[in-house]
Amino acid sequence: MRTEHDFLGEMNVPDDVYYGVQTMRAMENFHITGEHLDPDFIKAMAIVKKAAALANMDTGRLNPAIGNALVQAASEVIEGKWNDQFPVDPIQGGAGTSVNMNMNEVLCNRALEITGKAKGRYDLVSPNNHANMAQSTNDVFPTSIKVCLVIKGQKLMEALKELEGGLDEKSDEFRDVLKMGRTHLQDAVPITLGQEMGAYASAVRRGRKRIERTLEGVRVINMGGTAVGTGLNAEPAYIKAVAAKLSMLTGEIFVTARNLIDMTNNTDIFSDVSGSMKTTALMLIKMANDFRLMASGPRCGLNELKLPARQPGSSIMPGKVNPVMAEVLDQTCYQVIGNDTVISLAVENGQFELNVMEPVMAFNLFHSMQYLTNAIHAFINNLLNGLEANRSQCQSWVDHSVGIVTALLPHIGYERSAMLAKEAYTTGRPIRDIILEHDYLTKEQVDCILSPDEMTKPGIAGKRALDRSYAKQQKISG
């Protein structure tokens, strides 16, 4: 053990750990989630600290011997080498001070070790004076959240792009599968399964772009604002340099906010990011539920889609298989929506120059991004890639539907069409058979009018075919 002290007193710290007294106090005080800090967040904060050390050396304030050791320590943390040295609970009081000091202590004790000194010799390398030079938790913590959101956001964008591409592929694969469209959960008019898949792909694309737009806002940072955004203890040269160093280290563009006070006390950008994920989650729920309905049965449901069988569906009913991947996507999206409520409450609860609720914002933002990314990959790998169309069942529903009578309106009029619909409902016979029985149209005309292309994307080709058919009919009769 080694003895460390802060202004509250002394504490014994295990000598084999890199964290120190302030981390120990946080471990005692905050037993909330039972979780540790997100690895991407640890990496993001280490990147911020490395950028700050480089900027402070550039301005001449930080001794290069100390600064270079801190940079090396931060690089090791970025590589994931010391993730087990961050034991503080993600949800905590203090606006993230415990996380900031945990990082400062780890960097300093590792820097001391690098320079051949004993851990805890904060008179030589100080968590507050050196690792936290020209900084405050109030600029470090929100900036680290933003860097982490960029890291996680890239993974989420890749997952959404993959989902979008997979749906586009299914759109092409199922382009000739005619099925019944439904409104109000009732038969409407035909559509192709490919068109439905294309619509899902379009919605995913819109959701991805929505999230991308909000992530642009997290590139504006308040580093250099220090405690309340006034820049106390931070030199103008440092404020300019730290954003440039951060951009260099990440390969992303981060810029200093024009109004550091605003960017320190307002957290609405986190609500924007969360809200865009919530809206995208709502769209994904709709899609997943459509898949569940189209796969329902298989004997006594719609049975239009064949989902890959992933696991037995019942502990009592032999042979039952459930749409588990669609169900888990639903549940993940519910969690994202719930997280958004927490984030909304936290964002509105900032007072004056600081929002102290940032830890719970970060916790829920990171979970939402991670959960969505994981669930989308699971949906793609375990459902979409093996998805099949039940072509015969889709066609059967179309053949037995009365809704296709709508396609006849321009050719035989509303009254006759309504009469045919009534007869089809009463007798249960297919519309096609009844039309031909009444001799309203020829078989060639019916085949053209009720063809997949003509019913789902009417165009010139279908009109020309009908014109030829009518001309032929008039020639025969005349």
Assign residue 311 a region: left if phi > 0, alpha if psi is -120 to 50, beta otherwise? beta
CATH 1.10.40.30 domain range(s) in the chain: 402-477
In order along the chain (478 residues), what is the average pLDDT of each group of 10 residues?
A: 90 95 95 96 98 98 98 98 97 97 98 97 97 98 98 98 98 95 93 97 98 98 98 96 98 98 98 98 98 96 96 88 97 98 97 97 98 98 98 92 85 90 88 88 86 73 52 52
Report which of 305, 219, 204 is spatially closest to residue 255, judged by C-alpha positions: 219
- In this prediction, residue 468 carries a pLDDT of 56
- In this prediction, residue 102 carries a pLDDT of 98
- In this prediction, residue 313 carries a pLDDT of 86
**Token reading at 132:** 């936290």
- Domain topology for 144-215+254-392: Fumarase C; Chain A, domain 2 (1.20.200)
In the set 98, 276, 296, 314, the catalytic residue is 314
Residue 352 backbone dihedrals phi, psi, to 5 degrees: 55, -120
- In this prediction, residue 478 carries a pLDDT of 47
CATH 1.10.275.10 domain range(s) in the chain: 2-133
3-state helix, strand, coil in the chain (%, to 5): 65, 5, 30
Q: Coil, strand, or helix at residue 433?
A: helix
Whole-angstrom distance, CA of residue 385 vs CA of residue 41: 32
CATH 1.20.200.10 domain range(s) in the chain: 144-215+254-392
CATH 1.10.3720.10, applies to 402-477: no
CATH for 2-133, options being 1.10.275.10, 3.40.50.300, 3.40.190.10, 1.20.120.10: 1.10.275.10
Whole-angstrom distance, CA of residue 251 vs CA of residue 249: 6
Whole-angstrom distance, CA of residue 204 vs CA of residue 16: 48
Whole-angstrom distance, CA of residue 460 vs CA of residue 74: 66
- In this prediction, residue 473 carries a pLDDT of 57
Whether 296 is a known active-site residue: answer no
Q: Say which residue the tokens 């030199």 belong to.
A: 235
Q: What is the pTM of this model?
A: 0.92
Whole-angstrom distance, CA of residue 350 vs CA of residue 353: 8
